[in-house]
Amino acid sequence: MTDPATSWGAPLKPVYGPADVPADALGAALGAPGQFPFTRGIHAEMYRTRLWTMRQYAGFGSAAETNKRYRFLLEQGQTGLSVAFDLPTQMGYDPGAPMARGEVGKVGVSIATLEDMQDLFAGIPLDRVSTSMTINATAAILLALYVVAARRQGIAASALAGTVQNDILKEYIARGTYIYPPAPSMRLVTDTFAYCKDHVPRWNTISISGYHMREAGCTAVQEVAFTLANGVAYVRAALAAGLGVDAFAPQLSFFFNAHNNLVEEVAKFRAARRLWARIMRDRFGARDPRSLALRFHAQTAGSMLTAQQPENNIVRVAVQALAAVLGGCQSLHTNSMDEALALPTERAVRLALRTQQILACEAGVAEVADPLGGAFAVERLTRDIEEGAEAYVRTIDDLGGAVAAIAFMQREIQDAAYRYQRAIEDKTRIVVGVNEFVTDGAPPANLFQVDPAVGAALAERLERHRAARDADAARRALDAVERAARGGDNLLPGLVGAVDAGATLGEICDRLRGVFGVHQPSVTF
């Protein structure tokens, strides 16, 4: 057995003490909760004042089916909604499109029209719930649909709270659900910043995501570094578009992975907050404390779930969720034990939610801000992650920024993923039930299944929608979107007008494809 090491390969000492933590780490760099550099959390009393938002990521089949799951989760005590969209919605295709065949409603809910969005939130007052939408290439369109659906409920956009992920850079780096080339994609991002500043001020305009890069195999240091480097690119793009840093930065948010190593993960979240606060103050001159405070959602690690002995995932998720809470997350999704096999059943998702509720109400970890603050190992790892991430950010700067450094980040992630897999195969890293403590057993019965007929049913529904709408009004609205795309006007007002007039998501994306083109990734070996 090899000596224990961090995810980035640094050896771990058997014990840490005062000599491992410089004096400044326990002074100015540590600080107090709610104060710069926010190492110990972004609020003075953290969860004593308000618990984190408990979100369970959910979506499948039709909007009406998913609405039933949302109502179930809210009845079980969930405090925020989190929407999973199917691949056609993420890639800008309507049900019935050739590229959508076989994928409609399979890994998320299908949303193509305003009617779909209204069905998704039927009976859920949108001014009384915070909604997170995991959507990127089509984020501006889904936000437009949400705004108009709220308007149809009699709710002003200014009353809406929630988040669109809207992080296209990590799609190029690690996930792949992009549509347009980087330049017009970044325009959609910054147009969303500008629109929400004026019209949806309580909305988080982006969730800059390290989660998917960690799922692809990066280390904790790389997750912090590449996420914050992407954040730097978005801030630069917004400044170049003429926005003031303190006008848009308070609406930025982040999304991190809560991985298996408890102490390392707590240190990772603390290091990310500290480094971002310094970047925003020293590089961009931000002065509003809200611009400096890194707010983040965490999700437990899907890549750490195992199909073997799925009950073990209950324990993994509890440890990962504890790391997110001890690290000071603002909202949290806990994965369900059966997600390595299928979409989660109601029983499994209720148990995942109960995990958060037990941490909040029984474990005592919400009663003190940053309860591990000052622990020698935690403070040393916090410093090491911050320094390692800062070095990566400088390298990315030298390469010309995050957009220019996409291939570099991809290679770094691939190398880290290879080392991790080799460690599992060599048994220098133990995964319980996979390469050690293995048992024979049949997969659990009663797994969740999406109705295989949902694609055809939704395609027929879409045709009825097109037949019933005012076709001329929809065409005029689509023409307006195309004119804005060819010019320099903010795209969001046109998108809101288009979905209000009955245009579909796929029709809007086709118009934008005609102007912007489609991203063709370079292939390197």
Task: Work out how many domains the chain is built from and give that number.
Answer: 2
Are residues 31 and 151 both part of a single domain?
Answer: yes
Are residues 472 and 401 both part of a single domain?
Answer: no
**On the CB side of 164, how many CA atoms lie within 13 Å of its CA?**
27
pTM of the complete model: 0.95
Quick one: which of 511, 451, 525, 471 has its CA closest to 179?
511
Distances (CA, A) of 416 to 184, 242, 267, 300: 31, 38, 19, 19
Asked, for residue 43, whether it belongs to a domain, the answer is: yes
Query: Among the three residues 409, 431, 457, which one is the final residue of a domain in this structure?
Result: 409
Dump strand ranges (E) for 259-325.
296-300
Query: Got the DSSP string for 110-173?
Result: ---SHHHHHHHTTT--TTSSEEEEE-STTHHHHHHHHHHHHHHTT--GGG-EEEE----HHIII
3-state secondary structure 360-373: HHCCCCCCCCCCCC
Quick one: which of 303, 298, 336 has its CA closest to 317?
336
Helix 505-516 vs helix 471-486: crossing angle, to nearest 10 = 30
Type of residue found at 435:
N
Are residues 104 and 245 both part of a single domain?
Answer: yes
Are residues 280 and 353 both part of a single domain?
Answer: yes
In degrees and rounded to multiples of 5, residue 488 shows phi and psi of -120, 5
Which two tokens mark 403? 């957009």
Asked, for residue 421, whether it belongs to a domain, the answer is: no
Which two tokens mark 324? 């997110």
Which two tokens mark 348? 């499994």
pLDDT at 446: 82
DSSP for residue 45: S
Are residues 253 and 107 both part of a single domain?
Answer: yes
Are residues 143 and 240 both part of a single domain?
Answer: yes
Are 498 and 481 spatial neighbours (Cβ–Cβ below 8 Å)?
yes
Asked, for residue 524, whether it belongs to a domain, the answer is: no
pLDDT at 449: 83
Are residues 274 and 131 both part of a single domain?
Answer: yes
Asked, for residue 455, whether it belongs to a domain, the answer is: no
Question: Hey, is 250 helix, strand or coil?
Answer: helix
H-helix or E-strand spanning residue 164: strand 161-164
Are residues 122 and 229 both part of a single domain?
Answer: yes
CA of residue 452 relative to chain centroid, distance:
28
Are residues 28 and 174 both part of a single domain?
Answer: yes
Give me the numbers of helices (H) and strands (E) for the chain, helices first please.
19, 9
Are residues 387 and 495 both part of a single domain?
Answer: no
DSSP for residue 4: P
pLDDT at 525: 40
* Domain ranges, residue 180: 18-409
Report the C-alpha gap between 85 and 370 in whole angstroms: 34
Question: Hey, is 382 helix, strand or coil?
Answer: helix
Are residues 489 and 368 both part of a single domain?
Answer: no
Asked, for residue 169, whether it belongs to a domain, the answer is: yes
Which two tokens mark 389? 């991430």
Report the C-alpha gap between 366 and 329 in whole angstroms: 11
Query: Among the three residues 366, 383, 409, which one is the final residue of a domain in this structure?
Result: 409
pLDDT at 379: 96
pLDDT along the chain (525 residues), means of 10: 86 94 69 95 97 94 96 95 97 96 94 98 95 97 98 97 97 96 97 96 96 97 98 97 96 97 98 98 98 98 96 98 98 96 94 98 97 96 97 98 97 97 95 94 80 92 97 98 97 98 98 97 62
Query: Among the three residues 382, 409, 436, which one is the final residue of a domain in this structure?
Result: 409
Residue with tokens 């965490």: 298
Asked, for residue 443, whether it belongs to a domain, the answer is: no
Asked, for residue 26, whether it belongs to a domain, the answer is: yes
Q: What is the pLDDT of residues 244-290, one digit of tens each?
A: 999 999 999 999 999 999 999 999 999 999 999 999 999 999 999 99
Are residues 294 and 163 both part of a single domain?
Answer: yes
Q: Which CATH number fits the domain that encloses residue 252?
A: 3.20.20.240
Asked, for residue 1, whether it belongs to a domain, the answer is: no
pLDDT at 364: 97
Question: Before 95, cis peptide (omega within 30)?
Answer: no
Q: What is the pLDDT of residues 302-329, one digit of tens each?
A: 999 999 999 999 999 999 999 999 999 9
DSSP for residue 344: P
